[in-house]
Structures are given as C-alpha cells and as structure tokens.
C-alpha cells in the first residue's frame, strides 16, 4: 500500500463562477477526501472552505495545483506528520 499523508487545504473562493469548476476538481479526488466544510462570508463576498484529505503526497500536491489554477480561487495546504 502506498504511504499517505493527512493534510488540510484552506481554500478561498473570490469568484462565484469558479464554484462549479472547483466542485468538479474536488469530485475527482472524492475518494481521498475525509471531509469538507464551506462557509459563505457574505460581508466580504467570498467563500471559505477547508478540505481534510488522506492521500499520497503527490495526489495532495496535484489537487492543490488544480485548485490553485482555477481563476478566483486561492489554496494553501498544511500537512500533518502522520504517515500511513
């Protein structure tokens, strides 16, 4: 079995038109996603999301790269030291 890491991605969506594309990318990696939470911050006109993921480090990096390439979306990833 390939070693996996647990990580959390913080995602800021500044463009509502990006939500459909973002959800499509997240669906591609749904088998690795532990959970997700999204909070609309209406006062600022943005959405704040967190994605908990357990996957090989290359898959986490690939997901972050795809998310970060969506226009109007920012992402940062924090990795745990826990490997499996």
**Domain coordinates in residue numbering, the chain:** 5-83
- C-alpha distances (whole Å) from 30 to each of 25, 40, 42, 82 are 9, 21, 27, 20
Query: Taking a C-beta distance cutoff of 8 angstroms, is the pair 12, 47 a contact?
Result: yes
Binned at pLDDT 50, 70 and 90, residue 81 comes out as confident
**pLDDT tens, residue by residue, 17-72:** 999 999 999 999 999 999 999 999 999 999 999 999 999 999 999 999 999 999 99
Q: What is the pLDDT of residue 83?
A: 60
**pLDDT tens, residue by residue, 27-38:** 999 999 999 999
Query: Taking a C-beta distance cutoff of 8 angstroms, is the pair 6, 81 a contact?
Result: no
Q: At what angle do helices 19-28 and 57-68 cross, to 10 degrees?
A: 170
Where does 5-83 sit in CATH, by number?
Answer: 3.30.70.1150
pLDDT of 1 higher than 70? no
Q: Which residues neighbour 46 within 8 Å (Cβ) at sequence distance 6 or greater?
A: 12, 13, 14, 40
Beta strands across the sheet bearing 46-55: 33-41, 46-55, 5-13, 73-83
pLDDT of 13 higher than 70? yes
């Amino acid at each position: 079995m390939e070693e996996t890491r647990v990580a959390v991605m913080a995602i800021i969506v500044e463009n509502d038109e990006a939500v459909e594309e973002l959800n499509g990318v997240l669906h591609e990696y749904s088998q690795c996603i532990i959970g997700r939470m999204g909070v609309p911050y209406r006062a600022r006109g943005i959405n704040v999301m967190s994605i908990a993921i357990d996957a090989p480090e290359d898959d986490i990096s690939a997901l972050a790269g795809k998310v970060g390439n969506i226009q109007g979306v920012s992402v940062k990833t924090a990795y745990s030291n826990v490997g499996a």
